[in-house]
Chain A
Amino acid sequence: MRNLFSSSPSYARRMLFLSVIAGVLLLVDTTTQWLKPARSWIAELTIPIFSVALLPRWVNETVNEFADAANLKEKSKLQEVELLILKGRLQRMADLSAENSRLRTLLNATEILQHSVLVAELTGVSPDPLSHTIIINRGKDYKVFEGQAVLDADGLMGQVIEVYSTSSKVLLISDSSHALPVQVLRNGMRSIAEGYGDFRHLALRYVSTIADIKVGDQLVSSGLGGRYPAGYPVGIVASVDTISGNPYLAVDIKPSAQIDQSRYLLLVSQTVEKFGASKNAR
């Protein structure tokens, strides 16, 4: 029975000691940048285990995809049609961008933005329900930089917040610490879309009750703030409600990107080209 009495205070002391160590780490981590290099190589170490954790999901997806041949055939047919449509649009695009650059010269705009993309694959998802961050398999080796915009096939998904040597961490637009300048495609009205910790919803804050916004309006990134490139789809207005006593509308947005499902992502980088240089490229 000796340890019933003698060891209890030592447990308390041990608990306090370890908690203080963790607490100091916590404060250093949240208030300073000192742990950043350590974080970088820790992130490298966690990647294999993250990919093991992702296995069941990939297996499930692959099995679903290849389970029946009919489904696969139909999918490939659909993709062929989609490709044809996109190619058709692309032909028009060449014409439009030529026209656009002519008009920009008329307006005395001196530079043109060229967007290039890099394909990345999802390798990890944060286990914390409050932090909507993911890990992707491109890092310094592919010249990924902090603040780079991340897309999936349907729309904007987030931005890179930490870059490691072969991977990087992406903050999703649905994270509750994330806000993104947008505009309504129909009339150019500017606003800010905020995440609130739900993968399937974003909210527009401080939209006046007399603002011209309707259900079904398409929202695109406005490019203000300098982080995101302009013109990428963000979402569609799903509902607009007036709340009595509230001077602002409650606007609910359904994100275009499949934020919690996409596996392959695009990293966009924009390079500014002077007009003289871009003429030769065309």
Chain B
Amino acid sequence: MPDKNYSLYFYSTISLFMALLLQITPVFGSTVYWRPQFLLLVVSYWLLKKQRQYGIAFAWLAGMLLDIFSGQMLGRYAITFSFCAYILILLNKRFYHFGLLPQAFLVFLLVLLNQLLLASISLLYRTDWSIVMLIAPAITSALIWPPLSLLMNRLPKGGRLNQDNLFENQG
């Protein structure tokens, strides 16, 4: 079904692009610490939903994209995203048994893991990470996960996150 896949790739590219825009839009003052990891959330969504099409390489590419835009230490988001993707793939079979709230909690842990990895890589040359920068994006990402996944379920490629891939993965 090649045409189906094309539309899938179309929507995933568009959603990645939107997430990237949200990620790089400038905000005022210290609100920037509270910006959710939009790109990681969108990557996680596609990874969970279409595990056959999207794997670790997809997350790696998205991370590289964010690295290019953040303009320093090329490759650190690529590392953290691919590690998060690996964890997600391991958890995938469990993830769809949960409702939205437990999923949000898992997202909290995932983003926290991402921030911890980022902080430890950044220690290569700067040491000014604060506890707010570790936890704040994790909290906002967890809060935004339920509306985000509901919204993305509405995409024409649709179907619910929870049941769709149960069958696809076993094929």
Contact = CB atoms under 8 A, between A and B. Distances in A.
A19 B128 contact: no
Contact of B124 (A30, A124, A131): A30
A242 B100 CA distance: 51
A22 B79 contact: yes
A266 interface: no
Given A8-B90, A11-B86, A46-B68, A127 B75 contact: no
Interface string B47-70: 000000001110010011010111
Interface string B64-95: 10101111111110110011011001100100
The residue among A18, A23, A26, A53 with the most chain B CB atoms within 10 A of its own CB is: A18
Contact of A53 (B21, B29, B57): B21
A29 B83 CA distance: 20
Interface in B1-59: 20-21, 23-26, 28-30, 32-33, 35, 55-57
A232 interface: no
Q: Which of A46, A52, A53, A54 is most buried by chain B, counting CB atoms within 10 A of its CB? A: A53
Nearest to B39: A127
A200 B26 CA distance: 15
A35 B79 CA distance: 18
Q: For chain B, what secondary structure do more than half of its interface residues adopt (helix, strand, loop), or is it mixed?
A: helix
Contacts of B35: 127, 129
B30 A198 contact: yes
Interface residues of A, number: 49
B75 A49 contact: no
Nearest to B66: A127
Contact of A26 (B23, B60, B75): B75
The range of chain B's interface size is 35 or more
A256 B82 CA distance: 42
B33 A3 contact: no
B21 A19 contact: no
B56 A22 contact: no
B74 A199 contact: no
Contacts of B122: 130
B29 A30 contact: no
Contacts of B63: 22
A193 interface: no
A269 interface: no
Interface string A172-205: 0000110000000000000000001111100000
B26 A125 contact: yes
A43 B126 CA distance: 23
A176 B69 CA distance: 20
B57 A128 contact: no
A54 B26 contact: yes
Contacts of B29: 199-200, 260
Contact of B79 (A23, A43, A196): A23
Contact of B23 (A19, A23, A127): A127
A262 to B, nearest CB: 12
B125 interface: yes
A24 B79 CA distance: 11
A3 to B, nearest CB: 7
B163 interface: no
A176 B24 contact: no
B74 A35 contact: yes
B128 A130 contact: yes
A8 B83 CA distance: 14
A43 B32 CA distance: 22
Given A53-B26, A56-B25, A261-B28, A11 B55 contact: yes
B169 interface: yes
A89 interface: no
A194 to B, nearest CB: 11
A12 interface: yes
A25 B78 CA distance: 10
Contacts of A197: 128
B60 A126 contact: no
Which of B32, B73, B83, B90 lies at the interface centre, i.e. has the most chain A CB atoms within 10 A of its CB? B32
Interface of B: 20-21, 23-26, 28-30, 32-33, 35, 55-57, 60, 63-64, 66, 68-76, 78-79, 82-83, 85-86, 89-90, 93, 121-122, 124-126, 128-129, 133, 169-170
